[in-house]
């Protein structure tokens, strides 16, 4: 039973060759730039503090405490 757990140099060269054939040499920098932006946005989202959004409302400002106007 063969379990492919490592990519060798031969397989890596074939993958790079296929990517260059599919996207062309001019598209590779644009593709990598877009991938970098996506990774950066993901990291920024992971580091964002959402505690202010999940903050419970102040009991003095709760909407149920105000008397209804008649």
Is 32 inside a domain boundary? yes
Is 67 inside a domain boundary? no
Is 24 inside a domain boundary? yes
Is 66 inside a domain boundary? no
pTM as predicted: 0.43
Is 60 inside a domain boundary? no
Whole-angstrom distance between the N-terminal and C-terminal Cα of the chain?
79
Buried b (16+ CB within 10 A) or exposed e, 21-60: eeeeeeeeeeeeeeeeeeeeeeeeeeeeeeeeeeeeeeee
Is 35 inside a domain boundary? yes
Non-local CB neighbours of 28 within 8 Å, separated by 6+ positions: 19, 20
Answer with the residue of higher pLDDT: 9 or 25: 9
Task: Give the range of the structural domain holding residue 18, as residue numbers without chain letter.
Answer: 13-45
pLDDT for the residue 41:
94
Structural domain total, the chain: 1
Is 2 inside a domain boundary? no
Is 54 inside a domain boundary? no
pLDDT for the residue 62:
57
pLDDT for the residue 16:
87
pLDDT for the residue 34:
92
């Amino acid at each position: 039973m063969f379990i492919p757990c490592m990519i060798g140099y031969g397989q890596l060269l074939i993958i790079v060759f296929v990517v260059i054939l599919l996207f062309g040499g001019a598209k590779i920098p644009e593709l990598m730039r877009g991938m970098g932006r996506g990774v950066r946005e993901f990291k920024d989202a992971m580091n964002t503090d959402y505690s202010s959004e999940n903050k419970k409302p102040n009991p003095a400002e709760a909407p149920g405490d105000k008397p209804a106007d008649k």
